[in-house]
Amino acid sequence: MEQPAAGDPPWAAHLPPGLDSGRIELLEGQSLVRRWTRRWLEEPGRPTLWDDRLGWRTAGDLERSSRLVAARLHRAGLRPRDRILFSASPSTTVVGTYVGALRLGLTVVPVNTAYRQGEVAHITLDAEPRGAVVDDPERAGWIRQATGDAIVVTPEVDLPDGPVPDLDACGPDDPALICYTSGTTGTPKGALLRHGNLLANAEALRLAWRWTASDRLVLALPLVHVHGLCAGLHGTLLAGASALILPRFDVETVLDVAHRHGASLFFGVPTMYSRLAASPRVGELGRLRLCVSGSAPLPPAVFERVAEASGQRILERYGMTETLMNVSNPYDGERRPGTVGLPLPAVEVRLASSPEGEILVRGPNVFGGYWRNESATAVVFDHEGWFHTGDVGDLDEAGYLRVVGRSRELIITGGFNVYPREVEDVLLSHPGVVEAAVVGTPSEEWGEIVTAVVVADEPRPDTDDLLRMAAERLAPFKRPRLVRYVDSLPRNSMGKVRRDQLSDQLTEG
């Protein structure tokens, strides 16, 4: 790695050789969609997206299909800044429709396809969408029920054609996405990301990871969270590169598709790498130019296993819905397992003195605030504009950041976030449950698993009964995998549950 010159910001270490930090313009083009469409019009024949159902779609196909979708949605009455929900399994068709919505200036609200009715209804009522793109009739019904008059369509947007409206008009401050993420209260809030946030972050990744038009990404992440959507998809389209879109992750399919189509990149959460590491085919990862891990801590043992078996040194980075990607191990230079590396271009990171070590972030990637929720926004920004992540870190002697814990009661399982309160509320609604506390307990495969500690009346409710109730109301990844009955919960002098003691007891037990 080239050493940054004296006076350069720490992120200069990420820049390609010959590019100095003073010459970086992350918002060139003003919005992602303008940069994308400019490229597509220059090189319409370039293979851009592949899926198993439709095969390859070119840049020109994507430009045309997104334009057609924008015209249909406009004719149906949707206007810039209207919200549109997206809840569909990844496909090239979904991407075309997503791009069409952004080109029209709509604000896209991604919704996890695993969510149950209550979870979908909360987001729908809060975001007040005028449209929804959904690939499942049951979910479509839930959305109709919650909104009454939203235009609900499948990803094909089977609506009458219309004249092409003004497209690609958004500037950096216009809203692009509202991504729901839970706070400590367990009630999901919408993080409002602007076009400028998306562009600045995708451009930072393009530079830092040396993403070029000849790269090809295996994209097996959901497109309803920022990892798959903003890092994977946006980065691909900004670099003029291509992506192989899989509806779900599966070791064999990822490796088969990567081989068949000459992939150069793979992005995944640690659970995916631990499954890859356990496969006899792990050596095939060595054929890729770059493998990136994020969304949860990558165990150093998994890093070492993959490095040994394939020569591939996984590049770990750190991100968040509200900030997109913040910190990354360097492409050139040392990738240190157990750390997330150095701030990405234009990102500032510092550690707070109180709570000690909390990671604070500032930069063009950081969101504008929570949708219609000024009080929640005020809690996470300080008067100097630093965003308080709720993660705790430390810096090693070379300035590499380690994420050592969380000051929030967040469980991360397989890269998905679970807020204990939401699960506790469901358990408490069972008539036999007196008290419930939900914590994450360590798991080699999932990082953490959702574990419920329950105080109940005699006779104790049947565990299957509790789990059935959780299954009706919560996405599968939020349901407790373990239920333990105890006589009482450990509490501090204020009466607050001591989660640290609970986790310790469970780990020991």
Q: What does 403 interact with, of ligand MLC, ligand AMP, none (CB < 5 to 8 A by kind)? A: ligand AMP
- Of 9, 1, 21, 17, nearest in space to 332 by CA: 1
Distance of alpha carbon 166 from alpha carbon 145, whole angstroms:
32
Distance of alpha carbon 329 from alpha carbon 314, whole angstroms:
9
E strand map for 334-459: 342-343, 348-351, 358-362, 369-370, 387-395, 401-406, 411-413, 416-418, 433-443, 447-456
Site for ligand MLC in 252-291 (CB under 6 A): 269, 271-272
Q: What does 406 interact with, of ligand AMP, ligand MLC, none (CB < 5 to 8 A by kind)? A: ligand AMP
- Tell me whether strands 55-58 and 47-51 are parallel, antiparallel or unpaired: antiparallel
- Of 318, 335, 217, 235, nearest in space to 270 by CA: 318
Q: What does 413 interact with, of ligand MLC, ligand AMP, none (CB < 5 to 8 A by kind)? A: ligand MLC
Whichever of 72 and 227 has its CB closer to ligand MLC, that residue is 227
Return all residues near 483 (Cβ < 8 A) that are at least 6 apart.
Answer: 451, 452, 454, 463, 466, 467
Whose structure tokens read 């809203």?
175
114, two tokens: 């695993």
Whichever of 34 and 479 has its CB closer to ligand MLC, that residue is 479
Could you list the residues that contact ligand AMP (CB under 6 A)?
181, 226, 294-297, 316, 318-321, 340, 389, 391, 403, 406, 412, 417
Residue nearest to ligand MLC (CB): 414
Given 30, 66, 93, 295, the residue binding ligand MLC (CB under 6 A) = 295
Judged by CB under 6 A, the stretch of 194-202, 278-286, 315-323, 361-369 that binds ligand MLC is 315-323
Using the Cα atoms of residue 391, residue 365, residue 233 and residue 21 in order, give the sign of their dihedral.
negative
Q: C-beta of 460: minimal distance to ligand AMP in Å?
A: 34
Write each residue from 406 to 425 as x if it is in contact with ligand MLC (CB under 6 A), else as -, in one continuous string: -------xxxx---------
Given 15, 111, 123, 221, the residue binding ligand MLC (CB under 6 A) = 221
Given 115, 249, 331, 367, the residue binding ligand MLC (CB under 6 A) = 249
Q: C-beta of 225: minimal distance to ligand AMP in Å?
A: 6
Q: Where are the alpha helices (DSSP H) in 154-269?
A: 195-208, 226, 235-239, 251-260
Distance of alpha carbon 498 from alpha carbon 403, whole angstroms:
22
Judged by CB under 6 A, the stretch of 137-145, 226-234, 238-246, 351-359 that binds ligand MLC is 226-234
Whichever of 47 and 333 has its CB closer to ligand AMP, that residue is 333
Distance of alpha carbon 407 from alpha carbon 412, whole angstroms:
13
Q: C-beta of 221: minimal distance to ligand MLC in Å?
A: 5
Q: C-beta of 58: minimal distance to ligand MLC in Å?
A: 27
Whichever of 49 and 176 has its CB closer to ligand AMP, that residue is 176
Return all residues near 162 (Cβ < 8 A) that are at least 6 apart.
Answer: 71, 72, 74, 75, 76
Distance of alpha carbon 457 from the chain centroid: 40
Residue 228 binds ligand MLC, judged by CB under 6 A: yes
322, two tokens: 């509200």
Whichever of 36 and 209 has its CB closer to ligand AMP, that residue is 209
Q: C-beta of 328: minimal distance to ligand MLC in Å?
A: 11
Residue nearest to ligand AMP (CB): 321
Residues that bind ligand MLC (CB under 6 A): 221-222, 225-228, 248-249, 269, 271-272, 294-295, 319-321, 413-416, 446, 476-477
